[in-house]
Structure 1
């Protein structure tokens, strides 16, 4: 990525992704959109033990929703569950331990979940990885891709039958503004070529997620798919992966609750599905473009379909027998 493009993305972020931008946008929010009960509806949230995922779980639990927390660390998950139950009074909070970088285990988890539970109304794909060094999982896959793209795809695709049997099904993908500087790269899904840059690999994964959302929305019209950008949020993951950025921007970062607002709005409100078609990109409860003006990041339909074919083939190659 050129210095010019980096600067444009950074300046755009300063204007639109900060706490101040959220507070300004919140003035136009419709309060009644979130004044709903979701009792009887179930929500799966990946990465629900901290940050945006935990904040979303708390708000949804307060409205009566059943929460399925999909987390990597058992101790952190149990601690977070205790906090959610204490704050909301909702005991219908379930913990599922899963590392999305472990590809075969994602398959196994999804299949087991479908057998155990009769419904799932909303899937919130929030968990993400930003490793700065190239690492491989047990199956030989680059870990950022395995978690952010392939694991999310396998989980979503395998839960689609359960979602389609449930009332008003929705899938929400949590993205990031940095995807705006990347074009879909079909020929190097594993980031094997050139110098490995963890931040740009993450950006590529989020671009892949945008294409995935758009294409799945077309092939599964009975489910409302959406992509969202939470802005720049003060989370443990950001502090760990980008310590310099976190230190310099700390006073301007959004709270996890602010970052989770649009996730919750997409998950529980009638407004998104009623007013907008599926497959769109949201920030602060409004539709935004998936590309910058005059950007070079657009891909052809053929490239998008090729990506989905490669993803499906790769996913199947790790399907347990």
Structure 2
């Protein structure tokens, strides 16, 4: 990865931080795109200490704000003339319904719409830098996900964190499939990954007694980053696109994720939501 430039969203903690560390260890220049830049700077210092890299950057990015997404992309383009890898790692799981700064239901707005918009903003640079790669963190929960087209944002139905998260992770795979078609012939690949069940701050809203029990069976953040790093860097995956990976192997995605009509319906709807 020497000479390559990579962005990792949510690179200040958990899987994102270990993904960024792995990219830096492989020789890449890494930009940590973080909502909390204070935590981002602490992560940068830790990554620099363990890898010897002095060029890790931190840049503000809030996927709950379209203005922040566009500002991040503008700042990045002003500083860098290439982008080789975009790891769309950041995501959340909320316990109750809330909305983003733009009025979208937060789980859907951050995990899908924010990720979609950031990718669109950076696509010209990814194409310019081809061969390049996009990695989208989904989840095995996309198999249980269902797109409720009449109420995607839980404006009428009772909010369920499980349904909201599963729907957003299914949206990630639908997006990956639709984008891969649009990138045919560009030299840019896009693949979705499931990192495994990982003990991170992602689960901080859950009861701590349960989390202490579950953590005995969870992967470490470093283990969780392995699939993202494989898909982002493995030479044998050059040209592989539109796939869903678990444990660093491409496996069939959920049947619902393979529906091209649903992929295109979500794409058009997201275009409208993202403005």
In the TM superposition, what whole-angstrom CA distance separates every residue of 1:224-251 from its partner, at most 9, and x where no partner exists?
1000001100111124346465233211
Query: Residues of 2 paired with 1:224 and 1:99: CA distance?
Result: 25
Determine if contact 1:217/1:225 at 8 Å carries over to the other structure: yes
Matched, 1:248 2:213: yes
Matched, 1:312 2:271: yes
Query: Residues of 1 paired with 2:258 and 2:191: CA distance?
Result: 19
Tell me how large the CA RMSD over aligned residues is.
1.6
Structure 2 partner of 1:55: 18
Shift of 1:62: 1.1
Stretches of 4+ aligned residues off by more than 6 angstroms: none
**2:227 aligned to which of 228, 238, 262:** 262
**For structure 1, which runs of at least 5 residues remain unmatched after alignment?**
1-37, 317-321
Query: Residues of 2 paired with 1:242 and 1:178: CA distance?
Result: 20
Normalised TM-score (structure 1): 0.81
In the TM superposition, what whole-angstrom CA distance separates every residue of 1:127-177 from its partner, at most 9, and x where no partner exists?
001111111122211111221011100000110000001132100001111
Structure 1 partner of 2:73: 110
Alignment of 1:113-192 (within 5 A): 113-192=76-155
- 2:205 counterpart SS class: helix
Determine if contact 1:131/1:241 at 8 Å carries over to the other structure: no
Shift of 1:269: 1.2
In the TM superposition, what whole-angstrom CA distance separates every residue of 1:81-130 from its partner, at most 9, and x where no partner exists?
10000000001101001111112221222233223310000000000011
- 1:70 counterpart SS class: strand
Query: Residues of 1 paired with 2:210 and 2:252: CA distance?
Result: 25
> Bigger CA drift: 131-140 or 39-48?
131-140
> Bigger CA drift: 211-220 or 302-311?
302-311
Determine if contact 2:87/2:134 at 8 Å carries over to the other structure: yes
Determine if contact 2:177/2:263 at 8 Å carries over to the other structure: no
> Bigger CA drift: 80-89 or 141-150?
141-150
Query: Residues of 2 paired with 1:199 and 1:192: CA distance?
Result: 16
Query: Residues of 2 paired with 1:57 and 1:113: CA distance?
Result: 17
Specify the structure having the higher radius of gyration (Cα): 1
